[in-house]
Structure 1
Amino acid sequence: MNNKELEVVSKLPASKRYEYFIKKVADFEEVWALFDDGWAVSEDDNGNTLIPFWPKKEFATLCAVEEWKNYKAEQIDLSEFMQTWLPGMKTDGIKPSIFLNNEDSVVIEIDNLVLDLQEELEKY
């Protein structure tokens, strides 16, 4: 991935970054998160626990700052993400935070994320 794409995509509105996430994740069949003796988590304004996910390593690495400065981007296989991660997160009441850019992200219900991913995967 070149720096121009990294810069341009990172500055897109959250809804456009979400669309990019769905397409790239379906394309490469991988999701990225930050890990350092545990996965990076955050909270929304209502106190809900969020786990941030990105479509590519480079985007995740851009968010490895401040409290996550020692975190490294880790790849998650898409089938594992959809079959293990998302059901487990739903059970635990944790929401996915899609494509954080250190300013905002799309916090989405897991069922909607699964539907969007399945819809995109059917195109392949």
Structure 2
Amino acid sequence: MTNSHQNTTPRDIRYQYFIENVIAWEGVWALYNNGWLICPGEGEQRFCPFFASRDHAMAWNESAQTGYIPTAITLIELTENLLPDLARHQIEPGISPTGDDGPILPGHDPLHHDLIAALKRSIAGSAS
């Protein structure tokens, strides 16, 4: 038997956890206060942080002290509206930032693809 996790990094695990939980719950959490929180990244880059759960959003928000409120976003709203809007404004989706580690920045298209692929697997698995 081979170890399929031999090259898996903590960031890979965090990203996979995010995808699996988003599909199971059919939504994500972000921080809102008259608009979605946009954070500075490296250089000119900016990102919008997304979380797999309200608890993760609250924990990060408490350490960052943004004054924003954890708010749910449906999977449909995320994939059909928010991700394309972020792409138009050159704002990256920032997956699961933590106090110790910045966000995972998969890019708009790869994130969309990963979410849709996981959703299709979920639907196929529940149909069998």
Identity %: 28
Partner of 1:14: 11
Question: 2:91 — aligned with what?
Answer: 94
Which amino acid in structure 1 is aligned with residue 112 of structure 2?
V
Which residue of structure 2 aligns with residue 114 of structure 1? 112
Distance 1:38 1:80 in 2: 15
Q: Is residue 2:68 matched to residue 1:71?
A: yes
Q: In the TM superposition, what whole-angstrom CA distance separates every residue of 1:61-113 from its partner, at most 9, and x where no partner exists?
A: 00113441x22110001101000001111111110000111222201210000
Q: What TM-score do you get using the length of structure 1 for normalisation?
A: 0.84
CA distance in 2, matches of 1:46, 1:111: 21
Aligned residue-pair number:
112
Q: Displacement of 1:36 after TM fit?
A: 2.0
Measure the CA separation in 1 of the matches of 2:12 and 2:59.
19
Q: Specify every segment of 5 or more residues in structure 2 that has no aligned partner in the other structure, as ranges.
A: 1-8, 124-128
Q: CA deviation at 1:14?
A: 2.2
Using the alignment, how far apart are the partners of 1:84 and 1:108 within structure 2? Answer: 18
Partner residue of 2:49? 52
Distance 1:114 1:51 in 2: 15
Q: Deviations over 1:28-67 (max 9, x none)?
A: 1011001123221112112211000001100000011344
CA–CA distance in structure 1, aligned partners of residues 102 and 52 of structure 2: 15
Aligned-pair distance for 1:13?
Answer: 2.2
- Taking the aligned partners of 1:119 and 1:39, their CA distance within structure 2 comes to 26
2:88 & 2:109 partners in 1: Cα distance?
12
CA radius of gyration, larger in = 2
